[in-house]
Structure 1
Amino acid sequence: MWCTSCALAVEGVLSHRKGIESISVHYPTATLWVKGAAEAISLDTLAPGVKRLGYRLTELEAGADAHARLEQESRYLSLRLLVGAVFGMWTMLASLLIYAGALPNPTIEWVVAWVSGAFSIPVVTFAGWPFYRAGLRTLRAKRPGMDVLVTLGVWSAVVVSFGLLWRGSAEVYFDTAVMLIVLLLGGRLVETLCRHRGLKALDVLPQPKGEALVWEGAKWQVKPLAEVLPSARVMLTPGELIALDGILEEAAWVDTASLTGESTPRHFPKGEPIYAGCRLLGSDDVSMTVTHALGDRRLDRLRDQMRHYQTQKGELQKLADRFAAWLSPVALILGLATLPVGLLLGLGLEDAAVRALSVLVVACPCAVGLAVPLASLAGSGRLLNQGIALRDPAALETLARVKTIALDKTGTLTQGEPVLVNWVGREGVTEQAVKATLYQVAANSPHPLAQALKRWAGSDPTYVPRQAPLIEEVPGQGVHLHLPEHGDIWLGSQRFLSSQGIELPEYETDTSLAASEVVLADALGWLGSFYLEDTPYEDAASSIQSLQADYWVVMLSGDRPSAVEAVAERLGLAPNACFAERSPEAKARLVQGLPGPTMFVGDGVNDTLGLVAADTGAAPFNASDAAREGAAAHLLKPGISSLVEGLATAQATRRVMLQNLTLSAVYNTLALGLVIVMAIPPLVAVLAMVASSLSVTLNAARLAWRD
C-alpha cells in the first residue's frame, strides 16, 4: 500500500459486504484485520474485491517476508527519489534563474523555461507514477484521498505551465510539480523506514534455528521444525536456543534472558514447562517432550498478538481516519471550485488557476493520516523492547490514562514458589548431614514445600540406597520414610510429627508469621525445623515505590492475612491498600469499585474475572493460559519492573498522538482557510504541506529512536 488513503479505500470496498461485522486496514503494517462469518471473511472471498482495486491480498506474511517487503519498498522509493532529485535539480535551477532575473532578455527566459519543463518530464512521469496509481485506486473505491489531490496538483501545475509557455510567458510552475513529488517521495521514504523500525521491534523476540534433533525410528534424526509435532521427543543441545515449547524430561539450568530479560539463569526441574527462545546451559544434552509445534509456540503467539494489536485502531486513530475521510473530498471540491469562483470575482485565468493549484496542494491530508498510526507503531514497538506485548488495540491509549493499579500477590509480586528463609537444627548436627537426610525424604514427596526443601538440600552423591524405601504419606500433612540401612525419617507439620509420637523441643526464630514451618525427624528424634516463604521478586519493592509516586497501588490476594501483611510490609504497601482472602468474584468487584481507569495484573485462573473487570489487564510472565487470554498486555519478564517503564512509554505515546493529531488538524484547517482568502504561491504551499507531514513523522520517530 502507498498511503493511508489506500487503507481507507480497501476498508471502503470490503466494509459493506454481507457477513462482515468489523474491518480494519492498518497502513504501517499493510495488514487487514476482519471479523465476521467464516464464509464472508475467507481469503478466497475477500481477495477478488481487493484485486479489483489493484492490490494483492495474501495470508499473513512471516516476519522475514515483511522485512523483505519493506526493504523492497525502500529501494522502490529510493530509485524514484533519485530520479526526482537529479532531474528536479535542473528544473529548480532553471526556475531560480528566471525568478532571480539573472537572464539577459525575455527570449532566453522563455527558452530556459522550456528547458525547465523538459527536465521535469522524468520527474512527473516516472517518479510521480505511484501517486497517480494510488489516486486512481482510491477513486475506484469512491474514497478519494490525498493522492487524488497530489495528482491534480502536479498535472494542474504542468498544464498551467505549458499553457503559459504557449502564450509566450516564462512564469511557469514546473518547479511546483517537481518539488511536490520529490518532497513527498522523501516523506514516504522516511515513513517506510519508521515502519521498518517498528516491525524490527518484533525481533526483540529471539528466533531459534529451523531444525531439531528428534527421536524417531529408534534413533535421533534431524528434522525441520515444521515437521516436529506435539508429543515428539527432541534433544536439546547446551548453548543453543530452544526451538520449541515442551516439558523437560531431566532437570537443567536454563538462561531465559533472550526471552524474558532475566539476567540470572534459572533451574528448571524435571517436568517443568519450557519455552522456545530460552537457552540451555551446562555441558550435557537434555531431552524434552514437545507440547507446542511451530506456529503455536509462545513466541509465535506473542508475535501474532503483537501484530494483531498493530492492525487494529484505537479511538485516536479512528478519530484521525474520520477527519481524513471528509477532509480530502472537501479539499477536492474547494480546489475545483476555486477556479470558477476566482473568475467570477474578476481574477484573471492565470491567477485563478494558480489559486486553485495552491488549494489542491496545501490540502493534502498526509499529516492527518500519519498522525496516530506511526506514533502507535513506534510506541508499541518500544513497549515490546521494554518487555510488554500488547494484544488489545485500545490498551496503549488506556494504559496512558490509568489511575489505579491492582496487583495480585502470588505469582505477580512474589515468585509463586516457596523458598527457605531460615532453619534451626539439633545440636551437634552439621548442615551437610541435615541436607543429606532431608534430600532422601523430600525427594519422595510431591508437596511444593517438600520440593522446595529438596532444591535447597541438593542431591547427596554419596548416598545410594540398597533397597527401595518404604513410603507412607499423609496428604497435606507429611511423609514417613523407612530405609533399611538408615532407619525411619519423618518430614511434615508439627501436628503430623506429634501424631507419630515425636517430641518437639521449644526454640525461637526470627521468622515472620507468614512463613510455613516444616519439621524433620529421624530415629533419634527431632532433627530440624525449616521455614519457607513465597518471597517477592527482587524488583517488586522498588517497582511499587516508583508506581506509588503516580498511581494508587493496591494488592488483592486470596491468601491468608498473615502472608499478605508480611509481603505488604516488605514492599512498602499500606495495610489499607491490601485485601486478603478475596475470592475471584470479590477481586472483580473490588477492581470495579476502584477509581478508574483501572489496571489489574494477575497470573492465575482465579484472576481472570479481575482482568476482565479492569479497564485493562496484564498477565505476568508465568501466567496461566486463562489469564493470558483475559489480559490485554503480557509481561515478558518476571516481576513488574517492566510496568514502570511501560506506563511511562504509554503516556509519552499518547502525548505524541495528541500532538500529531492536533498539529495536523490545525495545519489543514488553517491552511485551507488561508489559501482561499489570499494568494499563496504553489511552491510555498508544497513546502508547508510537506513540512507538516515530516513534522508528525519525526515526532513519532522520537518514540522509537529515544534511549
Structure 2
Amino acid sequence: MWCTSCALAVEGSLKRSDGVHDVSVHYPSATLCISGTPAATQLSVLALKVKRLGYRLTELEPVGDAHARLEEESRYLTLRLMVGSLFGMWTMLASILIYASALPNEQVEQVVAWVSGAFSLPVVLFAGVPFYRAGWRTLLAKRPGMDVLVSLGVFGAVLVSIGLLWRGSSEVYFDTAVMLIVLLLVGRLVETLCRHRGLKALDALTLPNANISVYQHEHWVMVPADEVAAGMRVELAPGELVALDGTLEAPGWVNTASLTGESLPRHFHTGQKVYAGCRYLGATPLVMQVSAGVGKRRLDRLCDEMRRYQAKKGELQKLADRFAAWLSPLALVLALLTLPTALLFGTGWEEAFVRALSVLVVACPCAVGLAVPLASLAGSGQAMQQGIALRDPAALETLARIRSVALDKTGTLTTGNNSVLHWQAREGVDKHTVQRKLSAAVAGSEHPLAHALAHWSNDQREQNPEQNPDQNIEVNESPGEGRRVQLNSGEWLTLGSANWLTRQQIALPFQAEDPALAFASQVMLADEAGWLATFYLADQPVEDAAPSVKRLLASGYVVAMISGDRQGAVSWLGEQIGLAREACYAQRSPEAKARLLQALLAPTLYVGDGLNDTLSLAAADVGIAPLSASEAAREGASAQLMTPGVGGVVKLLSIAKYTRRIMVQNLFFSALYNTLALGLVAVMAIPPLVAVLAMAASSLSVTLNAARLAWAEPEENDQRAPE
C-alpha cells in the first residue's frame, strides 16, 4: 500500500462484501484484520477482491519479508525523490526568474517558461507516478483520498501551463506541480522509514537461528535451531541462551527474568519446562528435551500477539481515518464546482480553469500536514533536553491524554540487584565476626543472593583487612536450598533457608526470624554453636521512584505496578514508593500483564525494561523503556529514558500536554486558513501563485507557533492533571 488512502480503499471495498462483519486495514503494519463468515473470510476470496483494486493480499508475512518489502519501498521512493529534487530544482529556478521579473524581455521569459516545463516533465511523468496510481485505485474503490486531490492538482497545473504557453503567456504553473510532488514524496519516504523502524521491536523478539548441540545417531552434532524438531535432545552450555522450549533432564539454575520479570534466577528440577529466551546459568552442560521448535515456541506466540496489538487502531487513528474519508471528496467537489460557477458568472475558460486550479492548491492540506509534525518535532527536542529520547514523536499527542500509568517492578522501579536490607545475629556476636564467616560461607557460590551477601561482607573486610582470612576447603551444596562449608580452621558453617537449616537439625531460636520482614528474601547462617545470623535481602527501589509516583498520583493519574515477581516483594515495594496494595499486581505472566493493562482507564502508558514487557509495551497506547532496558523493550517502546530512574516519565507527560496545546492551536490556524482561502477563491479569482504563497504563509504561521515550544524553558511546561 502507498498511503493511508490505500488502506481506506481496501477497507471500504471489503466492508461491502457479504458475510463480512468488521474490517480494519492498518497501514503502518500492512495488516488486514477481518471478521465474518468462514466463506467470506477465506484468503482466496479476499485476495481476489483486493487484486481488482491493484493490491496484493497474502498470509501474514515473516518479519524478514516485511523488512525486505519496506526496503524495496524505500529505494522506490528514494529514486523518485532524487529525480524530483534534481529536475524540480531547475523548474523552480526558472519560475522564480519569471516571477521576479529578472529577465530582460518577454521573449526570454517565454523561452525560460518552456525550459521550466521541460524540466518538470521527469518530475510529473516519473516521480509523481505513485500518486496517480494510488489515486486511481482509491477511485476504483469509491474512496477517493488525498492522492486524487494531488493528482488533479498536478495535472491541472500542467494543463493550464501548457494552455498558457500555447497562447504565448509565460505565467506558467509548472512549479506548483513540482512542489506538490516533491514535498509529498519527502513525507512518504519519512513515513516508510518510520514503519521500517517499527519492525525492530519484532526483531528483538526473534531469536537468532544459531547452531545448537543436538544428540543424533549417538553423537552430539551442531544443527541450526530451525531444523530441530520436538522430541529431540539438545545440550545447553553454561551461560547459553535457550533457543527452544523444552523440559530439563537434570536440575539447573535458569534466569527467567526476560519472560517472567522475576528478580531472582530460579532453580529448575528435572522435568520442569523451560522456554526460549531464558538463559542457563549452571556451571556444567545440561540436557533438555525439545517440546516446541521454531515457529511454535512461546516466544513466537508472543511475537504474533504483539503484531496483532500493533495492528489495532486506536481512537485517534479511527478519527483521522474518518476525517480523511470526507476531506478529500469535499475538496474535490469544491474544485469541480468552481469551474462551472465561474463560467456562469461570465468568466472566460482560461480564468475559470485557473480558479479551479487555485481551489485544488488551496485545498491541499500542507498547513494541516505540518501542524502536528512540527509541534511533535519541537516537543521531541524538549524531551531530549530532559534526557528522554522519543522514537515516535507522534506519541506525544497520545501522551497528553494518558489517564493510566502502569509500571514494571524489577529493573524499572528497582535497581535490579538485591542488597542486604537488614540483618540480626545471636547475642554476643559482633558484625565483624558475622561478615568474616559469611564471606567464607558464600565464596564460590553461583546463587544471586550469595553474590549480594558477598558484596555486603566484602565491604566490611575492605575496611578491616586480615592477614589470614577464613577460606572454605570443602563444600556440600543443595541447589536452591543451601550449602555446608568447612573452613581451613576445621569449623563447619551452614548457610541457607530456614526450612533447610531445620532439616539439617539446626535449632532456630525465636529471634532468628522477624515477621515484619517476611516480604524479603531470607538467608540464615549457622556455625557449630548453632544459629549465628539471619540476613534479609530485597531489590531496592530506584532513587526517584517514590517522588515520581507521588507526583503522578497528585496529578490525577491512575498508577499501578504490574510485575511477574512474588506477592511479598511487590507489596513491600508498593509501600516503599507510596502505592496502595490494591494497585500492586504480582505474579503476572506477559500475557496477563497485557490483559490487565487493557483493563485500565485508556489511554494507557506502560513502563517496562524486559523481554517479558514487550507485549505490554505494544498493548499500551504508549510504551516507555527505562535506561537499563533490554534491546527488546527499547525497540518496542515509543520513548526511552536516557537517565537513571523513572522521573523522566513525569517530565515527558508534562512536555506532552504542552505540546498538545501547540498542536491544537496549529490545527486551528490551518483550519482558519483553509476556510478563509476557500471563501476568498469562491468570490474572486486568485492566481495559483497567490494560492501557493497563501499555503506558504499558513505553513509559516504553524512553524512559528511550533517554534514557541522549542524556545520555551522546560520548567514552563504544563503540570496540570489530565483532563
The answer, yes or no, to whether TM exceeds 0.5 is yes
Q: Deviation at 1:333?
A: 0.5
CA contact (8 A) 1:406 1:601 kept: no
Q: Secondary structure at the match of 2:544?
A: helix
Q: Deviation at 1:219?
A: 2.1
Aligned to 2:337: 337
Name the CA shift for 1:373/1:68 in 2 (closer, same or farther; >3 Å).
farther
Aligned to 1:597: none
Name the CA shift for 1:375/1:308 in 2 (closer, same or farther; >3 Å).
farther
Aligned to 1:544: 546
Q: Deviation at 1:550?
A: 2.9
* Structure 1 range deviating more: 505-514 or 305-314: 505-514
Aligned to 2:588: 604
Aligned to 2:157: 157
Q: Deviation at 1:92?
A: 3.4
Q: Using structure 2 for the length normalisation, give the TM-score.
A: 0.69
2:524 equivalent to 1:528: no
Aligned to 2:462: none
Structure 2 Cα separation of the partners of residues 164 and 319 of structure 1: 42
CA contact (8 A) 1:135 1:145 kept: yes
Q: Deviation at 1:335?
A: 0.2
Name the CA shift for 1:346/1:130 in 2 (closer, same or farther; >3 Å).
same
Q: Deviation at 1:21?
A: 3.5
Structure 1 Cα separation of the partners of residues 225 and 47 of structure 2: 30
2:617 equivalent to 1:615: no
Structure 2 Cα separation of the partners of residues 430 and 346 of structure 1: 104
Q: Secondary structure at the match of 1:551?
A: helix
Aligned residue pairs total 647
Name the CA shift for 1:609/1:80 in 2 (closer, same or farther; >3 Å).
closer
Q: Deviation at 1:244?
A: 3.9
Q: How does 1:408-423 map to 2 (within 5 A)?
A: 421-423=422-424
Q: Secondary structure at the match of 1:215?
A: strand
Structure 1 Cα separation of the partners of residues 412 and 101 of structure 2: 74
CA contact (8 A) 2:544 2:646 kept: no
Aligned to 2:468: none
Aligned to 2:638: none
Aligned to 2:74: 74
Q: How does 1:545-560 map to 2 (within 5 A)?
A: 545-552=547-554
Structure 2 Cα separation of the partners of residues 683 and 629 of structure 1: 47
Q: Which amino acid aligns with 2:349?
A: L
Structure 1 Cα separation of the partners of residues 356 and 324 of structure 2: 20
Q: How does 1:426-575 map to 2 (within 5 A)?
A: 462-463=473-474, 504=509, 526-532=530-536, 535-539=538-542, 542-552=544-554, 567=573, 570-571=576-577, 573=578
CA contact (8 A) 1:503 1:525 kept: no
Name the CA shift for 1:608/1:162 in 2 (closer, same or farther; >3 Å).
closer
Name the CA shift for 1:406/1:127 in 2 (closer, same or farther; >3 Å).
closer
Structure 2 Cα separation of the partners of residues 93 and 134 of structure 1: 29
* Structure 1 range deviating more: 502-511 or 607-616: 502-511
Q: Secondary structure at the match of 2:57?
A: coil
Q: Which amino acid aligns with 1:422?
A: W
Structure 2 Cα separation of the partners of residues 95 and 630 of structure 1: 48
* Structure 1 range deviating more: 403-412 or 74-83: 403-412
Structure 2 Cα separation of the partners of residues 567 and 105 of structure 1: 82
CA contact (8 A) 2:407 2:561 kept: yes
CA contact (8 A) 2:87 2:123 kept: yes
2:83 equivalent to 1:83: yes
Structure 2 Cα separation of the partners of residues 337 and 506 of structure 1: 91
Aligned to 2:319: 319
Q: Deviation at 1:270?
A: 4.3
Q: Work out which of the residue numbers 682, 687, 699 in structure 2 matches 1:681.
A: 687
Q: Which amino acid aligns with 1:131?
A: F
Q: Deviation at 1:337?
A: 0.5
Structure 2 runs not aligned, ≥5 long: 456-470, 485-489, 630-640, 711-723
Aligned to 2:30: 30
Aligned to 1:173: 173
Q: Which amino acid aligns with 2:326?
A: W
Q: How does 1:294-309 map to 2 (within 5 A)?
A: 294-297=294-297, 300-301=300-301, 303-309=303-309
Q: Which amino acid aligns with 1:73?
A: E
Q: Deviation at 1:461?
A: 7.4
CA contact (8 A) 2:22 2:34 kept: yes
Structure 2 Cα separation of the partners of residues 666 and 85 of structure 1: 31
Q: Which amino acid aligns with 1:134?
A: A
Name the CA shift for 1:464/1:661 in 2 (closer, same or farther; >3 Å).
same
Q: Work out which of the residue numbers 678, 690, 709 in structure 2 matches 1:672.
A: 678
| CA offsets 1:656-677 (integer angstroms, 9 cap, x no match) | 6767766765554454344434
Q: Deviation at 1:493?
A: 6.1
Aligned to 2:637: none
Q: Using structure 1 for the length normalisation, give the TM-score.
A: 0.70
| CA offsets 1:383-410 (integer angstroms, 9 cap, x no match) | 9x999999xxx99987654456577989
Name the CA shift for 1:165/1:612 in 2 (closer, same or farther; >3 Å).
closer
Name the CA shift for 1:155/1:498 in 2 (closer, same or farther; >3 Å).
closer
Structure 1 Cα separation of the partners of residues 225 and 238 of structure 2: 18
Name the CA shift for 1:307/1:229 in 2 (closer, same or farther; >3 Å).
same
Structure 1 runs not aligned, ≥5 long: 444-449, 470-477, 580-586, 592-599
Aligned to 1:136: 136
